[in-house]
Amino acid sequence: MDPHIGKLAWAEETGSNYDARIAVDRVRAALDDLLEQAKGYPLERIILPLGNDFLHYDTLLGQTTAGTPQDRDSRYQLMFRRGRALGTALIRASAETAPVHVVIVPGNHDEVSTFHLGEVWQAEFSSDPRVTVDNRARLRKYVHYGVNLIGYTHGKNEPHKKLPQIMAVEEPALWAETQYREFHVGHFHTSKVTDPVAVESYNGVRVRILPSLSGTDAWHAGMGYVGEIPEAQAFVWSRTRGLRANLFSVALGDAEVRP
């Protein structure tokens, strides 16, 4: 979640360095680590959510989709190429382990760019039977696997307590067929689990706010949003028994800005 490729952070100002190359290295290392941890499980397929502020900004002026200026380390075109190459590498590495279903989740920093990346990856892997890409325009995506229904959204717009009801309304048939339901949310760069009540008579959908591998930029450091450990997570689901494991990969070492 939320790698923010193209973000610039200077250690003297923010406490740690971060740039596009650091972001790419962290994400690649995290995926390798999580795939290695998952080797102990008989994987039938891999769900790979991409998006959720995959890129740091959405315009040639370095602004988010809504027009908020960002500290950036490169031109838009270079950022986009780096993001495209990284996503391609993640998909290929995952496909070496099991068939991959790529879920494109638009973020608030890169809603337009993420859609374009999804179209590129869809075309790039159109002849690869191991890869499917869900790049539908809807902001919320769902994956059904046995008794599990997993929702994906960036989480900036929707009240989290309403996500269970939104899931039931948007996917009523899948809701009826499943027993274990979760929403995975980005945007907040921290790890948190909430268990809202879906409907009055149902105890139900777990909403997970997932952490980020991203560094802290000047604005967040100035506001005091510091100290979060850069981390990625993965989940192992059983077709018949729900969630079986939660895997963690923490970014190691101090990030150094390179030329």
Q: Which domains does the chain have, with CATH numbers?
A: 11-250 (3.60.21)
pLDDT on residue 158: 84
Give 106-130 as a 3 state SS string.
CCCCCHHHHHHHHHHHHHHCCCCCC
Question: CA-CA-CA-CA torsion for 82, 120, 231, 255, nearest 10 degrees?
Answer: 0
Cα–Cα distance for residue pair 243/90, rounded to 1 Å: 23
Q: What does the DSSP assignment read for 195-258?
A: --EEETTEE--EEEE--------HHHHHTT---PPPEEEEEEEETTTEEEEEEEEEPPS-----
The per-residue pLDDT for 258 is 40
Task: Compare 195 and 33 and report the one with higher pLDDT.
Answer: 33
Q: What is the pLDDT of residue 68?
A: 94
- Are 97 and 34 a contacting pair, CB within 8 Å? no
Given this model, what pLDDT does residue 110 score? Answer: 93
Look at residue 157 in the predicted model and tell me its pLDDT: 80
User: pTM (2 decimals)?
Assistant: 0.88
DSSP 37: H
Nearest residue to 154 (alpha-carbon basis) of 56, 66, 55, 52? 52
Q: Please, what is the average pLDDT of the chain? A: 88
Instruction: Identify which has the larger pLDDT, 189 or 236.
Output: 236
Share of the chain above pLDDT 90, in %: 69
pLDDT exceeds 90 at position 189: no
Residues 6+ apart with CB under 8 A from 7: 18, 19, 20, 23, 56, 70, 71, 72, 73, 214, 215, 217
Q: Which residue has the higher pLDDT, 95 or 193?
A: 95
Q: Return the pLDDT at 231.
A: 92
Question: Quick one: tokens of 213?
Answer: 């591998």
Structure confidence by residue, pLDDT tens digits, 201-258: 234 789 998 989 988 877 778 788 676 788 999 999 999 999 999 999 998 764 443 4
- Lowest pLDDT segment from 80-84, 178-182, 247-251, 253-257: 253-257
- φ, ψ for residue 11, nearest 5 deg: -55, -40
Q: Please report which helix (H) or strand (E) contains residue 182, including its range.
A: strand 180-185
Indicate whether 190 pLDDT > 60.
no
